[in-house]
């Protein structure tokens, strides 16, 4: 992929630093919870960067990573973007003259408690491994603290019960301890991929709650799960009525409580058949483009009506395919990174990759390359995205015409007998030739009579 070669070069340097302490338990979380999302290449890249942590930091070329991982540059770039999307690294670029250096800041993975409570991460894991494996992982990482029970009391001693500390020294700490406190400030918290509040712009929360007034779920429960419900609305393109129906189907009638886990499973199972009935959103004022055909305008209209997963599902069905789990993660990554404020641009991007470039699937590296190009060209509306698509198509068409003019046209020559309207030449036969033919036929007939007698 040429975009990866533009964004990253084997000669570019890299430095690895850490924002959090990394432990063996972090490695377990990475292996069991994150690897199904990122894939083996990105998993290997993270572990390799982990081993490259040095004090002081040492600059190395990216060719080192390529050699150690035994991958090509597009795969390396794709792996890096996956780690970025999952909040496991932050990438910084430093340019000095012709030399580019990337600083990769490693972050610890989320603790299992935070992971399973994060809707983007837990939904992605559920889609990747399925319900059975998801439940196994949930049980594997569940904590089992001692609960208060009759007859059970804590007998642990505290610090001062065991160790003696000079109270006078506590009032006047040594200078070295003050320096240590300044050096060891609170580390950065692990980052979580999240959707921002722009996702709520087209969702009427009050209307949504009105649809559930007659149900068993309380308004307080809905407000407590506001963020999670908003994520489901954004990822799957559910309007207020659709989401309310799913909530109704997920309420535990015995306790009158909303079961968010059941709600997520229900929506994930039916994601392939969800069809958004949300009315068309009135487009914001945008510069008119006289070059847009009726088909282009219709495509933009549909892109505004459908959620990214629903739009891609329709594209793939037209091609006789289906939306893969990796494609879902690609779309979720675009949403969580807030690259485009308008989700219709993401739909135009999907159409560009599948229909125009005729790629069988959305891959992270390819989509990131296209998205980077559009951002550099300041694409902020679906009309501008269509202009980028048309620009590529026109360039491709021009190149094909030029190629046809330059190449000599090879003409196949057919034999005379294969030509249309062919007639065999008429030649006169002499009396001598006719006599020879009769004599030959008579001899053949005599041989035939002798064999039959």
Residue ranges making up the domain that contains 354:
294-404
What pLDDT score does 325 carry?
85
Q: β-strands 13-18, 99-106: how paired? A: parallel
How many domains is the chain partitioned into structurally? 3
CA distances from 48 to 30, 66, 70 (A): 13, 11, 12
Six-digit token string for 173: 């700490």
CA nearest to 387, candidates 397, 374, 396: 374
| 246 & 304 share domain | no
What pLDDT score does 105 carry?
93
Q: Is residue 421 part of a domain?
A: no
Instruction: Name the strand (E) or helix (H) holding 18.
Output: strand 13-18
Going by the DSSP 8-state scheme, the letter that residue 291 receives in this structure is T
The overall longest dimension of the chain from CA atoms, in Å, is 143
CA nearest to 317, candidates 278, 356, 368, 273: 273
| 11 & 103 share domain | yes
Q: Which residue has the tokens 């799957």?
A: 236
What pLDDT score does 278 carry?
37
Provide the 3-class DSSP secondary structure of residue 1: coil
| 90 & 18 share domain | yes
Say if CB 342 and CB 281 are below 8 A apart.
no
Q: Is residue 357 part of a domain?
A: yes
Query: Could you list the pLDDT tens digit for every one of the 453 residues in the chain?
Result: 445 566 788 889 999 998 888 999 999 999 999 999 999 999 999 999 999 887 677 899 999 999 999 988 888 998 999 999 899 999 999 988 888 999 999 999 999 999 998 877 888 888 888 889 999 999 999 988 888 778 888 888 888 788 887 777 777 777 787 777 777 776 666 555 554 444 556 678 888 888 887 777 888 888 888 877 887 887 777 888 888 888 888 887 778 788 888 888 888 777 644 433 333 333 333 435 455 777 788 888 888 888 888 889 888 888 888 888 888 888 887 876 677 778 889 999 999 898 888 888 998 888 888 888 888 788 888 888 888 887 766 665 555 555 555 555 444 333 443 444 545 555 555 677 777 767 777 776 666 565 555
Q: Is residue 182 part of a domain?
A: no
| 384 & 303 share domain | yes
| 55 & 106 share domain | yes
What pLDDT score does 164 carry?
82
> pTM here?
0.47
Q: Is residue 124 part of a domain?
A: no
| Cα–Cα distance, 107 to 131 (Å, whole number) | 28
| Cα–Cα distance, 16 to 199 (Å, whole number) | 34
Q: β-strands 257-258, 89-96: how paired? A: unpaired
Q: Which of 94, 111, 128 is the last residue of a domain?
A: 111
| 304 & 233 share domain | no
| 304 & 387 share domain | yes
Q: Is residue 245 part of a domain?
A: yes
| Cα–Cα distance, 194 to 178 (Å, whole number) | 37
Q: Which long-range contacts (CB under 8 A, 24 or more apart) does 65-72 make?
A: 65/14, 66/10, 69/41, 69/44, 69/45, 71/41
Residue length of the chain? 453
Number of alpha helices (DSSP H) and beta strands (DSSP E) in the chain: 23, 6
| Cα–Cα distance, 73 to 63 (Å, whole number) | 9
Q: Is residue 50 part of a domain?
A: yes
Q: Is residue 11 part of a domain?
A: yes
| 11 & 94 share domain | yes
Burial of 363 (0-12, 13-18, 19+ CB in 10 A): middle
| 311 & 215 share domain | no
Q: Is residue 69 part of a domain?
A: yes
What pLDDT score does 265 carry?
80
| 59 & 6 share domain | yes
Say if CB 247 and CB 258 are below 8 A apart.
yes
CA distances from 436 to 110, 234, 419, 427, 442 (A): 102, 94, 34, 17, 10
| 308 & 390 share domain | yes
Going by the DSSP 8-state scheme, the letter that residue 262 receives in this structure is H
| 309 & 398 share domain | yes
What pLDDT score does 16 carry?
94
What pLDDT score does 45 carry?
95
**304: Cβ contacts below 8 Å, ≥ 6 apart:** 280, 281, 283, 344, 382
Q: Domain containing 99 — which CATH number?
A: 1.10.10
């Amino acid at each position: 992929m040429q975009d990866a070669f533009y964004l990253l070069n084997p000669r570019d340097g890299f430095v690895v630093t850490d924002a959090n302490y990394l432990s063996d338990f972090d490695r377990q979380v990475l292996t069991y919870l994150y690897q199904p999302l990122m894939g083996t290449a990105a998993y290997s890249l993270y572990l390799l960067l982990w081993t490259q942590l040095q004090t002081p930091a040492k600059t190395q070329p990216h060719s080192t990573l390529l050699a150690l991982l035994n991958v090509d540059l597009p795969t390396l770039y794709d792996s890096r973007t996956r780690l970025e999307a999952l909040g496991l690294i932050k990438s910084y670029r430093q340019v000095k003259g012709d030399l580019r250096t990337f600083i990769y800041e490693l972050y610890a993975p989320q603790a299992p408690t935070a992971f399973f409570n994060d809707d983007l991460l837990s939904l992605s894991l559920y889609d990747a491994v399925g319900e059975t494996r998801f439940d196994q992982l949930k049980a594997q990482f569940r904590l089992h603290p001692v609960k208060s029970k009759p007859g059970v009391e804590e007998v642990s001693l505290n610090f001062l019960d065991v160790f003696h500390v000079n109270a006078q020294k506590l009032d006047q700490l040594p200078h070295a301890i003050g320096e240590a406190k300044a050096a060891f400030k609170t580390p950065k918290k692990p980052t979580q991929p999240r959707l921002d509040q722009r996702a709520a712009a087209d969702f009427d929360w009050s209307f949504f709650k009105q649809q559930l007034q007659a149900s068993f779920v309380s308004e307080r429960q809905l407000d407590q799960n506001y963020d999670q419900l908003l994520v489901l609305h954004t990822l799957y393109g559910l309007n207020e009525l659709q989401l309310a129906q799913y909530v109704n189907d997920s309420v535990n009638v015995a306790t009158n409580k909303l079961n968010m886990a059941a709600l997520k499973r229900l929506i994930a199972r039916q994601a392939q058949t969800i069809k958004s009935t949300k009315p068309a959103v009135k487009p914001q004022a945008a510069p008119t483009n006289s070059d847009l055909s009726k088909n282009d305008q219709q495509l933009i209209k549909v892109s505004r009506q459908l959620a990214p997963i629903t739009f891609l599902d329709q594209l793939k069905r037209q091609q006789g395919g289906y939306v893969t789990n990796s494609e879902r993660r690609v779309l979720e990554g675009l949403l969580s990174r807030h690259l485009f404020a308008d989700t219709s641009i993401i739909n135009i991007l999907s159409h560009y990759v599948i229909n125009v470039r005729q790629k069988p699937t959305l891959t992270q590296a390819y989509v990131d390359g296209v998205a980077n190009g559009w951002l550099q060209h300041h694409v902020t509306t679906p009309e501008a995205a269509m202009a980028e698509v048309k620009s590529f198509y026109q360039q491709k068409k021009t190149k094909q015409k030029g190629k046809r003019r330059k190449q000599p046209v090879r003409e196949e020559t057919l034999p005379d007998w294969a030509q249309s309207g062919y007639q065999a030449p008429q030649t006169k036969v002499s009396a001598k030739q006719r006599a020879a033919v009769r004599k030959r036929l008579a001899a053949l007939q005599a041989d035939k009579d002798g064999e039959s007698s």
